[in-house]
Amino acid sequence: MNIAQLKLSQKKLLDNLVSRGYDIQYIKGVKFVLRLLFEHEGCFHSYEQFAEKFIRTRGYTKATLDLRMMHLRTIQAYDEFGHYPDKKSFVPLCYPSRYNMLNPSFRKVIDIYRKRAAEHKKKSTVKMETDAVTMFLFEMQKFHVSSLDEIKEEHVLSFFLKEEQQKRSRTYCGHIASALKELGDLYDMKKVLGYFPDLKYERKNFNYLKDDEINVIKNALSDSNNILTFREKAIVSLALYTGIRGCDIANLKLTDIDWKKERVSFVQEKTGNPIVLPLLPHVGNSLFDYIRNERDNEAGSVYLFPNKKNTIERLENKSIGTIVNTVFEKLNLRKGESGRGVSVFRHNLASKLLGKGTEIRVISHILGHICSSSIVPYIDADIPHLRECGINIECYPIRKELFE
């Protein structure tokens, strides 16, 4: 790591990003992380420590955190290995993983968990819980703990709390606990889990679209002369009118569209639940226009949105988010702001349905939730009904200074 040299050579990196055709938002992200590195110079001695102190502590959503870490890896690859970005993942073999830095006893814990969990948990869940428990054990080693039996309450509390303030989420705590419970017959996990604090469940309000933003998007979707491509219109129409997740849009097949019965049928990637939704006219028309005018139908892909580089395969999940972000950019919406991903359309649909008094059971079915309680966070964006819950304070004298 050489921050002084990076200050002098950063222009080469940024120019390379432009010449390679990187999205303007990605370049802005790299510039943002560069500013953070320069502002906090001297407060860290490695990129990993910088990430722990100044990236992971900013309260980002998982999607935003992943993006920030991509920006940081781009900078690190350039600074430490002279590698210019080429839109491919760059992970040198000499990058030390936390797993490899664990002692043999802790590595054995991880190995057993992976083997057992792989038999009944989704691959993504195993990875998420593995990463969490690996971080936990890695931090335990810093207290010179070499086995699970040596873990003490003060060690665990220091991992989750800092000066009585919560520094890791309840969800993250749950990932670690879930992994450790897998090994309850081999180790005394009750003692370790008993040290885990009862953390508060913290959640930011879901982002949603404003009425004027929805009008701009709808007008763009219906305008045949604007700058949006047929593929962009098809993807945004699906997201706006059905609330389908980005991963499920990417995974849609041509056979999932039943034109005669006017419905869309698919199995959710996240839950494994089968979903059947009506094929609304706006969506059907945009899909038809895309298939007829723009889709490479001669490539033989079974997917509705084939990958342009490998036309047999489907688009990657993250590509859907990139396309949606591009649409926001083209329509001059939320410039420099967050909330420009696919999920904002899902949040918007749920919020609008709640505002119209739709039953929670029906909304959960449309969104494909396993549990109806999953709809609760969307209530925070149901402004019309929240206003009805407001309490009139006319009867209570309030000092004028409070409003100044």
17-46 residue pLDDT tens:
888 888 888 899 999 999 988 888 877 777
Task: Considering only residues 245 and 390, tell me which one the structure prediction assigns the higher pLDDT.
Answer: 245
pLDDT at 93: 44
Condensed to tens digits (0 to 9), the pLDDT of residues 192-225 reads 999 999 887 766 666 778 889 999 999 999 887 7
Q: Tell me, what DSSP letter sits at residue 307?
A: -
Percent of all residues in the chain with a pLDDT value above 70, rounded to a whole number: 90
Mean pLDDT of 84-93: 65
Q: Is the pLDDT of residue 285 over 90?
A: yes
| pLDDT band of 265, cuts 50, 70, 90 | very high
- Do residues 29 and 85 lie in contact, with contact meaning Cβ atoms separated by under 8 Å? no
Condensed to tens digits (0 to 9), the pLDDT of residues 166-179 reads 888 888 899 999 99
Q: In which region does residue 163 sit, left (phi positive, over 0), alpha (psi from -120 to 50) or beta (all else)?
A: left
- Three-state DSSP state, 278: strand
- Is this model's pTM higher than 0.75 or not? no
pLDDT at 262: 94
| Range of weakest confidence among 12-21, 46-55, 82-91, 238-247 | 82-91
pLDDT at 383: 64
Average pLDDT of the chain is: 85
pLDDT at 146: 93
Identify residue 32 by its one-letter amino acid code.
F
- Residue 353 CA to residue 360 CA, distance in Å, equals 9
- Residue 82 CA to residue 298 CA, distance in Å, equals 41
Q: And the tokens for 281?
A: 């006219």
pLDDT at 94: 45
- Do residues 136 and 148 lie in contact, with contact meaning Cβ atoms separated by under 8 Å? no
| Neighbouring C-beta atoms of residue 344, cutoff 10 Å | 21
Task: Considering only residues 335 and 17, tell me which one the structure prediction assigns the higher pLDDT.
Answer: 17
- Residue 26 CA to residue 292 CA, distance in Å, equals 32
| pLDDT band of 308, cuts 50, 70, 90 | confident
